[in-house]
Structure 1
Amino acid sequence: MRYSSCVCSSRRQFLQQLALGGALLGTWKMAEASRAALVLPRERPIVVCLDPGHGGHDPGAVGLRGTREKDVVLDVGLILAQHLRRTPGVQVLMTRQSDQYVPLLSRMHLGTQRRADLFISIHADAFPDPDVRGSTVWALSAKGASNAAARWLAKSQNSADPILSKWSTGRQDPLLNEVLINMTQTAAMNAAAAAADVMIRGLAGVEGLHNAAVQHANFVVLRAPDVPSMLVETAFISNPQEEQRLRDPEFRQTLARSMHDAIVAHFVKAPPTDSCWSAANHVLGHHETLKEVARRYGLSVQALRLANNLAQGEEPTGTHLRVPIMGA
């Protein structure tokens, strides 16, 4: 009995030591995994921040038939968000998802705080001349507004926020002026200009362009120092024909799809280096169509065209195409 007790006792100690060793081994493995995660961080998704303009007490521009800008752009933004969320490796932020007012600086800061790769403010603005029509894409520029109309439009947008009355009077914030010229914002502005160029080419197939080139103005929502930002005027609600189109749900769907294609094309051309997206080269095979290539890589034909600066029609065999490798 005594011998058996000793054996049992030794066996229990052995099993306890074995269990302790297993626990220590498990802890060590977890620590190693944690260290590996720190050394080799998981590639992040691309972050796109959508900003449907106005909202709440601020209706934005109102058309002759009573169409409110805040309602139109919210619908376009929500549809665009749905398309982006179905795109692998893309995370969507929205400054508003309902009829609420969000201050302009809060909109801008959301993109900065969440380290967005692209910030897009969506509008359907007005102009004193009802004949003005077409889409326009705006970006920030250290050189100031493109023209007098750009200055007028930026002033009208910025003055909608009572907190920003000091900017609407023409006074400048010295801190923002300092940030505007630093290297970080210069890089962000260059990236925004490239993305805006793709966007305006995408919109050209949906709505006639008011300006064929990217325009520049000092919109407050575009001032984030490290986030490429653009403002898209989808159409002018002050134009009776364009107001009618903006009232059409199918047209708003088309606008959102075109904007989605342009966003995808931009990131095919310039995927963030630390993101789960990358780009590859595809050589068009014999009898291979652009539709087949687009389907293979999970994007639309229009996005493939925009990413490769292609006109309408099929490309010859041997054409080199830039295509995306989309992370999950």
Structure 2
Amino acid sequence: MSGIAKGIGWLLLGLCLGWQSAMAADIQNVRLWLAPDHTRLVFDLSGPVRHKVFALDNPDRLVVDMAGSRLSASLDSLGIDDSPISRIRHSRQPDGTQRIVLDLSRGIKPRSFALAPNDQYGHRLVVDLLNNGTSGPTNRIGPEPATVVDDPGVLRDIVVAIDAGHGGEDPGALGPGGLREKDVVMAIAREVYRRLEATPGYRPVMVRDGDYYVSLRGRTKLARRTNADLFVSIHADAFKDKRANGASVWVISDRGATSEVGRWLAQKENGADAIGGVVSLDDKDEVLASVLLDMSMTFSMEGSRQVAERVHRNIGKFARMHKPFVEQAGFVVLKSPGIPSILVETGFISNPDEARKLKSRSYQREMAAAIADGIQDFFWNRPPAMTHIAHRKSGGQLPTLAARTYKVARGDTLSVIAVRNGVTLADLRAVNGLSNDTIRVGQVLKIPSS
């Protein structure tokens, strides 16, 4: 064989081996997460794979094929009891494809996507089983959104959306001894929920009430869906320098962060979807809307700072604060037009001393009390109109709600109208019996007097 022929042969062999190396992957681990609206399967892979997912009926099944792959993980302890999966089977096809078959107890809508490696995970294949409206697990996010009634004389509770950061596929920051941020902040969030629920005039809503991931946009979307008067995101993050310490309270900034830590934290939190397993599939309108934030951000930023200052002051009574003032950074999760929003960093889990405190149940309760008390102090001083708190503060006298009206013009949005008239978006919805922000040109809106 000539030298040229040998060279071509080695080249072809190298290409074949390279293709097999690129396409072949071991399925090293499989995880299952149960969320209110879907069940998620995550396959940890040794490399990228080509895959396809297809459904079969009579009976309902979902088939996941991964080319040139081999299952080396156990599927016996995934905890499928509360999921739509009744049984998992697997086999390796003659062409080297690894087949996973999910026997289903009810209909689902499948969605799948691959994720590239990041700081915490290697290659992953994510398969979501979306609830399609058939009977299934109840929504564990929290109580149903408050019913908006046409009678403006009906009082309502103040709605507070409590967001425990991370969850499910995303453990958040990791501390000594395997302490996970998602567990610490869930404990604090549930205590905040308990305290507000026990206070007449408040209706807290948990953004997530279990170990599953909610996308950053999904968190703010839920706050809007429940007509929240306030959004509170709770975290316990880490910094590259383990000496960093101190709790902090953050509001949104459109001019950059107030510190190096702020830039670091915002970058990490805003990238959480890549760890939690989220791809942008059908939220293009929401992303555009987040870029085109309207005048309502001015109003919500004012309220955000007021409640943040109260929470900051409360935490400072027993904990060291990272800065003596409320800080600002570009956290995506705080971009809720018309809804005051704050993010509380309860401490640095990467700092051994603070990690020890954050692990303590008594410290978690103290932190939750500081947050809940700050929220209540804020709303007592600035209660939304037609709420039980406003009614109580006024000595039982109902305010005049419809002293003014406004006719909707072309280009108006509900949030802009609220800002122009100095009222909250929630109050404007309530007095007009609106369940969402949809309005039409020529519509006459009542403007509440707060």
- With normalisation by structure 2, the TM-score equals 0.51
1:62/1:238 contact within 8 Å kept: yes
Asked if 1:58 is matched to 2:167, the reply is no
Give the aligned partner of residue 270 of structure 1: 382
2:230/2:341 contact within 8 Å kept: yes
Return the structure number with greater strand share. 2
AA in 2 matched with 1:107: R
How many residues align structurally?
Answer: 238
d(CA) in 1 for partners of 2:312, 2:345: 10
d(CA) in 2 for partners of 1:130, 1:165: 32
d(CA) in 1 for partners of 2:289, 2:201: 35
Asked if 1:192 is matched to 2:304, the reply is yes
CA gap of 1:174–1:281, structure 2 versus 1, over 3 A, is closer
Give the aligned partner of residue 325 of structure 2: 213
Deviation digits for residues 84-105 of structure 1 (CA, Å, limit 9, x no counterpart): 0000010011111111111111
What does residue range 52-91 of structure 1 map to in structure 2 within 5 Å? Answer: 52-91=164-203
Give the aligned partner of residue 177 of structure 1: 291
Give the aligned partner of residue 262 of structure 2: 150
1:158/1:164 contact within 8 Å kept: no
Quote the sequence identity (%).
38
More deviation in 264-273 or 233-242? 264-273
Asked if 1:113 is matched to 2:189, the reply is no
2:266/2:330 contact within 8 Å kept: yes
- Where do 4+ consecutive residues of structure 1 move more than 4 Å? 163-166, 279-282
Deviation digits for residues 188-225 of structure 1 (CA, Å, limit 9, x no counterpart): 11100111011100111121101111111111110111
Give the aligned partner of residue 140 of structure 1: 252
Give the aligned partner of residue 216 of structure 2: 104
Asked if 1:93 is matched to 2:205, the reply is yes
d(CA) in 2 for partners of 1:231, 1:189: 13
What does residue range 211-250 of structure 1 map to in structure 2 within 5 Å? Answer: 211-250=323-362
1:202/1:258 contact within 8 Å kept: yes
What does residue range 33-52 of structure 1 map to in structure 2 within 5 Å? Answer: 38-52=150-164
Q: Aligned with 2:199: secondary structure?
A: coil
Structure 2 unaligned blocks of 5 or more? 1-148, 281-286, 396-450
1:47/1:92 contact within 8 Å kept: yes
AA in 2 matched with 1:126: A
1:159/1:165 contact within 8 Å kept: no
Q: Aligned with 1:225: secondary structure?
A: coil
AA in 1 matched with 2:272: A
2:154/2:386 contact within 8 Å kept: no
d(CA) in 1 for partners of 2:188, 2:309: 20
What does residue range 4-43 of structure 1 map to in structure 2 within 5 Å? Answer: 38-43=150-155
Deviation digits for residues 227-258 of structure 1 (CA, Å, limit 9, x no counterpart): 11010001110100000011111111111111
| CA-atom RMSD in angstroms | 2.0
AA in 1 matched with 2:213: Y
1:140/1:218 contact within 8 Å kept: yes
Deviation digits for residues 23-66 of structure 1 (CA, Å, limit 9, x no counterpart): xxxxxxxxxxxxxx745331111000000000111000001221
Choose between structure 1 and 2 for higher RCO, CA contacts under 8 A separated by at least 6 residues. Answer: 1
d(CA) in 2 for partners of 1:184, 1:58: 31
Give the aligned partner of residue 316 of structure 2: 204
d(CA) in 2 for partners of 1:158, 1:151: 10
Cα deviation for residue 142 of structure 1 reads: 2.8
CA gap of 1:130–1:161, structure 2 versus 1, over 3 A, is same
AA in 2 matched with 1:103: S
Give the aligned partner of residue 27 of structure 1: none
Deviation digits for residues 55-87 of structure 1 (CA, Å, limit 9, x no counterpart): 111000001221100000000111110110000
Deviation digits for residues 77-135 of structure 1 (CA, Å, limit 9, x no counterpart): 11110110000010011111111111111111111111111100000000011111111
d(CA) in 2 for partners of 1:102, 1:164: 9
